[in-house]
Amino acid sequence: MQSEIMETASPDGLSGLPEDVLIVEDDPIIALDFEETILGFGVKTVRSAGTVATALDTIADRAPDFALLDVGLIREKSFAIAERLDALKIPFVFVTGYSAEVMLPPAFADRPRLPKPYSSDALRALLKRQSSGGKTTR
């Protein structure tokens, strides 16, 4: 899946949400659902990447304020993206359809997870909580 950009004006009164979210998801239908939901919250920009390489290129081009990382991508895991985001101090959440027992590298074992299927309320709460941890200056 190619990196896509969707933008919409941010409604007033939705402070606490990131302005730019990167979704790393290999299923185009799930990625589109995330994009539509997040844009509906009032987030200004949502970008999608379906592979580790595309995601790393997207981050290098313009680092997001927040990222949702599907753990298991086609033939690869998203841990290299997590390492890059962590180095840049960009908050992120792992998204997975697997049980809570899915092994994450020790460095990321305490990171929040959003289960698939997800609830809109849980997604909004994670976006607000993670982005309120402080924005990075780039």
Domains of the chain: 4-131 (3.40.50.2300)
- What's the Cα-to-Cα distance from 120 to each of 55, 73, 105, 124, rounded to whole Å? 23, 22, 27, 6
Quick one: DSSP state of residue 103?
A: -
- The percent of residues above 70 in pLDDT, for the chain, comes to 80
Q: Please name which of 8, 20, 126, 116 lies closest in space to residue 65, comparing C-alpha atoms.
A: 20
CA gap 25, 35 in Å, rounded: 11
- The pTM of this model reads 0.83
Give pLDDT tens digits for 36-60. 999 999 999 999 999 999 999 999 9
